[in-house]
Structure 1
Amino acid sequence: MNSTATEGGLAPGVLDERSLVVVRLVQIAVMCVLSLTVVFGIFFLGCNLLIKSEGMIDFLVKDRRPSKDVETVIVGAY
């Protein structure tokens, strides 16, 4: 029997290399998922804040409309 063969039929070095490749691929996949989660979280949080700020601006614009008394004074001046 060959001295480099094991019960599984592979040499220990080959098995270690394959397990390292699998571990690296799993780490890369997890990091990609986490990165995408953070990017989309920031994007949706930014969109939500933008929508809220537009609503606040609209609210302030409605409050700043001149009253009807000012309009009658302007119309009366002409």
Structure 2
Amino acid sequence: MLQGWTVVGHLAFFPVTLDRQDAGWYGLAPGSVSPAHQRRGSGSALIRDGLACLRAPGAQDCVVRGDPLYNRRFGV
């Protein structure tokens, strides 16, 4: 149990296979940010940090289902 912490939002990444082969790609599942923290950059920070964590060990790329105008600014 954590005390003094607040969950602001979440993201989930999952491996994507192409023809049943691991190609180093990942999918970004829909994420969320609590209403009290929306429109403050929390979602953008989660996506930027999450993508950085994927790229560090050598992920090839990430696909996402969502609003193209929103996600374009992250290069996905």
TM-score range, shorter chain: under 0.3
More helix, by proportion: 1
More strand, by proportion: 2
TM-score normalised by structure 2 residue count: 0.26
TM-score normalised by structure 1 residue count: 0.26
Q: Which structure carries more relative contact order (alpha carbon 8 Å, separation 6+)?
A: 2
Rg comparison, structure with higher value:
1
